[in-house]
Amino acid sequence: MSSYIRKKTMGDTDWFFHDRFGMFIHFGAYSLAARHEWVKTKEFVPEDKYQLYVDHFNPDLYNPKEWARKAKEAGMKYAVLTTKHHEGFCLFDTKYTDYSVMNTPYGKDIVREFVDAFRAEGLKIGFYYSLIDWHHPEFPIDQLHPRRNDPDAEEQDRGRDIKKYVQYMRNQLTELLTNYGKIDILWVDYSYPAKPGNPSWMQFNGGKLKDQWEAESLIELVRSLAPGIIINDRMGLPQDISTPEQRQKDCWPQDKETGEYLTWETCHTFSGVWGYARDEHSWKTPKMLIDLLTRTVALGGNLIMNVGPTARGYFDARADKALQVYADWIKYNGRSIYGCTMAEPEFKAPSGTVLTQSVDGKRLYIHLQDCQFKYFSFPSLAGKFTYMQLLNDASEVEYIENLNSYDAAGNLEDASLAIKTPPTVYDMVAPVIEVFLK
C-alpha cells in the first residue's frame, strides 16, 4: 500500500483522488467575444456593448451529450462547468437576476442540460461559481473591475454594499446546490489581496479576500446543502483541494504541521486562455498534454483540462484534436493513471522518466517522457519486481541484471538493472512500462 498518508478532508475526495482527471468547461457571454473570458475588464467594455453578447447568446449547436461523450472518451471522470464567470452572466435559471441564459435567444437552462448529460455518462458533476461579479450592482468596483477607470467610477461605487452581494451569492449557491441533484465539486474563483496604488475610494483597498466573501459562513451553507461536496481553496480559506493553476508543482504539497499529503488539482488550458479564443495559437502539443497528466499524477495530484466551447455551443476542431490525444493514450495507458499516485520513495526515477505507482503498491509505471537510450539504468528497482511489459500492448520488456559494464575509462558502472528500451517507443507519444512488483 502507498505509504503516503493523505490529509483527511471534509469533502469526499476518495473518488476524486482515484479518478485523477477531469474536464473544465468555460462557457459564457464572453464566448461570443471569442478572445478571452476577461475581455470585459481587459478592454473596459461598456455595459451596453457587452449586452450585445448577451442579447446574441444562442448556442444553437449546444449538445451536452456530445460534450459528455467526448469527455468520457478522453478518460475524464468529472467535469466542472462555469455556472457564472466573472462577467456575472448566469448559465442557469435563477430567480435572483435577469442576467441569465433564460433572457437570451437561447432561453433554456444550460446547466440543467449539462448536469443531465454528464451524469448520464457517469461523470461526477462540478460547478464553477465566480465570487467576482462585474455586473452585479452591489459588487464594489475594485482593482479588477471593468468600470475601475471610468471617470465616474467612484460615483458608481458609492453605496455598493458587498453584504448584499454576498447574500446574492448565498441565494444562488442555494439554487445551484438544491435544484440540480447531487453536486460533487464546488469550484469557486477567486480571492485577491489589494495591490498597492489603488485609488483611496476603493472599498477594502480594492482587493477581496475571505472576510469580504464571508467565506466561513458561505462554506458552512454549502456543506449543509451538499454534505460530502468537494470545495476548492479560492474563497481564501484552505478547504478540500488546493488548485495551482497553469503551472507544474515540483512536489506533493504537505500539511505544514502534520506532514500529511494534501489533495490537489492543477488546472490548465489546451491553449492560452479559458474561454473560446478564435485567434489563439498556443495549443499544447500531444506530448505536452500527456506529460502534464503523467507528471501531475507522479506528484499525487489531479489534472483538470479546460475546453472553451464556441458560442454556437460545440467544441471546435482544435479542442476535439486535443481531446482525441487523451482518448488515444488513455485507452491503453489509463492503468498508469487511475488509482495511481506518487511512487514510493525507494524508487528513484531514471533520467527522462517519471514514475507513478498503484495505490495498492503492486504496480510501478515508468513513463518514458524523454528517454532516447537503448538501455536505461534503474538500480533502485533491481531485485524488486517479477515482470515488466510495455503497457499499451502488453509486450514483454527485456532487461539485464548485474550487467558488468565498464565505461570507456574502464570503470565498472552500476548496472544492477539495465532496461532495454523497446524501439517501438520512438513512434509513440508518452510510452509507459508497467512493472509488476514483488
- 267 φ, ψ to 5°? -115, 135
Q: Which three cell numbers stand for residue 333?
A: 495507458
Q: Which residues bind ligand GLC (CB under 6 A)?
A: 26, 37-38, 189-190, 245, 267, 274
Cα 233 from chain centre: 13
**Is there a contact between 376 and 419 (Cβ–Cβ < 8 Å)?**
yes
The DSSP call for residue 101 is G
Quickly list H helices, 179-261: 210-213, 215-225
Cα distance between residue 287 and residue 172, in whole Å: 40
> SS in 3 state form for 159-185?
CCCHHHHHHHHHHHHHHHHHCCCCCCE
Q: Three-state SS for 49? A: helix
Spatial CA neighbour of 97 closest among 66, 150, 125, 133: 133
Beta partners for 152?
none
- Is residue 386 packed enough to be buried (19+ CB in 10 Å), middle (13-18) or exposed (0-12)? exposed
